Amino acid sequence: MKNDIPQYAIGVDYGTNSVRALIVNTLDGAEIATARYNYKRGEEGVLLDANDPNLARQCPSDYILGFIESVSKAVNAAKGQLDFDPQRVVGIGIDTTGSTPLPVNRDGLALGMLDEFKEDLAAQAWLWKDHTAHAEAAEITDAAIRGGHPYLTKCGGTYSSEWYWAKILRCMRTAPHVARSTYSWVELADFVPAYITGNTDPETMSRCVCAAGHKAMYHEVWAGLPSTEFLDGLEAGLSRFRYTQKAVPSNQQAGRLSSKVAEHVGLPEGIPVAVGALDAHMGAVGAGVKTGTLVKIIGTSTCDCLVSPLDQPLPDIPGMCGIVPESILPNMYGLEAGQSAVGDIFNWFVNNFSPYKDVESDKAHAMLTEVATLLNPGESGLLALDWNNGNRTILTDPLLTGLLLGQSLYTTPAEIYRALIEATAFGALTIIQRVEEFGVMVDRVICCGGIADKNPLVMQIYADVLNRPINISRSAQACALGSAILGAVVGGAHDSVELAQLAMTGFKQELYKPVPANVNVYQRLFMLYKQLHDSFGVKETTLSLFSVMKELIAIREEARYSESRST
Applying CB under 8 A, the residues found at the interface with a copy of itself are 341, 344-345, 348, 352-353, 355, 357-358, 381, 385, 387-389, 399-413, 535-546, 548-550, 552-553
Strand, coil or helix: what is 92? strand
Q: What is the rounded CA–CA span in Å between residue 60 and residue 124? A: 6
CB 340 within 8 A of CB 319: no
Largest CA distance in the chain: 71
CB 215 within 8 A of CB 187: yes
Give least dist CB 349 to a copy of itself, A: 9
Distance linking the first and last C-alpha atoms of the chain: 40
Give least dist CB 142 to a copy of itself, A: 17
Q: What is the DSSP string of 437-488?
A: HTT----EEEEESHHHHH-HHHHHHHHHHHTS-EEEES-S-HHHHHHHHHHH
State which residue, 366 or 405, has the beta carbon closest to a copy of itself: 405
81 DSSP assignment: S
Tell which residue, 62, 50, 6, 56, has the closest CA to residue 29: 6
Give least dist CB 167 to a copy of itself, A: 22
State which residue, 30 or 545, has the beta carbon closest to a copy of itself: 545
Give least dist CB 286 to a copy of itself, A: 28
Q: What is the rounded CA–CA span in Å between residue 439 and residue 444? A: 15
Strand partners, 219: 224
State which residue, 150 or 537, has the beta carbon closest to a copy of itself: 537
State which residue, 220 or 353, has the beta carbon closest to a copy of itself: 353
CB 290 within 8 A of CB 330: no
State which residue, 358 or 563, has the beta carbon closest to a copy of itself: 358
Give least dist CB 146 to a copy of itself, A: 21
Give least dist CB 415 to a copy of itself, A: 10
Give least dist CB 386 to a copy of itself, A: 10
Give least dist CB 558 to a copy of itself, A: 14
State which residue, 249 or 398, has the beta carbon closest to a copy of itself: 398
Give least dist CB 542 to a copy of itself, A: 4
Give least dist CB 52 to a copy of itself, A: 14
Tell which residue, 308, 260, 316, has the closest CA to residue 284: 308
Q: What is the rounded CA–CA span in Å between residue 178 and residue 105? A: 10
Q: How many CB atoms lie under 10 A from the CB of residue 110?
A: 23
CB 11 within 8 A of CB 95: yes
Strand partners, 390: 388
Strand partners, 444: 293
Strand, coil or helix: what is 44? coil
CB 132 within 8 A of CB 54: yes
* H runs (alpha helix) in 237-356: 259-265, 279-287, 343-353
State which residue, 224 or 381, has the beta carbon closest to a copy of itself: 381
State which residue, 41 or 129, has the beta carbon closest to a copy of itself: 129
State which residue, 3 or 542, has the beta carbon closest to a copy of itself: 542
State which residue, 138 or 404, has the beta carbon closest to a copy of itself: 404
